[in-house]
Each structure stands twice: as C-alpha cells, then as structure tokens.
C-alpha cells in the first residue's frame, strides 16, 4: 500500500470532490498559515488518531517531508488513496496561492 504525490496545482481537483485536507505540522506552524480548508492533525499526535484520517485524504506539511512520512504510515495502517502535497505549504504559496492565518480551517 502506498500513496500518491500531488502537485499544488492538482489540489483544487481534490478539494472540489471533498477530499479531506490534513495538515500534519505542529499547531503553532499551522496557525502561521495553512492551505484553506486544511484541518490540523500534527504528525506527533498521529499514532492513535489514525481513524481521524479518511481514505483519499491529502496530507500537507511545510515542504512535503513530514506529510510523506504521515502518508506512508497511514497507508501501512490500511488507509487507501492517500495523497501527499509535494512542496507542502511552501510550494502552495510559491504558486501565489493564499493561506489562512490562525487556528481555524
């Protein structure tokens, strides 16, 4: 079981069909700016909270490193069709896309 890497310009397609966006950064990082619609579930808390991540979720972090770790872990736990946002939040903003500031999605 694996996951698929996703380019930032492909994210809107997944958002439109209702994919869950899971930001695995720590709460202070998330509050500084996150992809609109993303909910915060820190990688440090993922073990024991796997059921909060549905199949077909898109995992996001700062650069794509932690989210790829989370995606690999969740895939090993049986989650299907997971996506990892390549370049993470940095890649998202590099393309001129907006972030939401604060601790709300």
Tokens of 73: 């872990």
Length of the chain measured in residues: 105
The residue from 61, 70, 71, 74 that is catalytic is 61
What Å distances lie between residue 13 and 10, 19, 61, 98, CA to CA?
6, 9, 19, 17
- Is residue 61 annotated as a catalytic residue, yes or no? yes
Q: For residue 22, give the H/E element and its range.
A: strand 21-23
Residues designated catalytic? 61
């Amino acid at each position: 079981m694996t996951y698929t890497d996703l380019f930032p310009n492909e994210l809107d397609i997944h958002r439109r069909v209702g994919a869950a966006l899971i930001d695995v950064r720590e709460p202070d990082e998330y509050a500084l700016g996150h992809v609109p619609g993303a909910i915060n579930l820190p990688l440090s808390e993922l073990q024991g909270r796997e059921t909060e991540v549905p199949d077909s979720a898109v995992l996001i972090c700062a650069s794509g490193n932690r989210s790829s770790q989370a995606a690999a872990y969740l895939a090993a736990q049986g989650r299907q069709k997971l996506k990892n946002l390549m370049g993470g939040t940095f890649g998202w903003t590099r393309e001129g896309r907006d972030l939401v500031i604060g601790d709300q999605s």
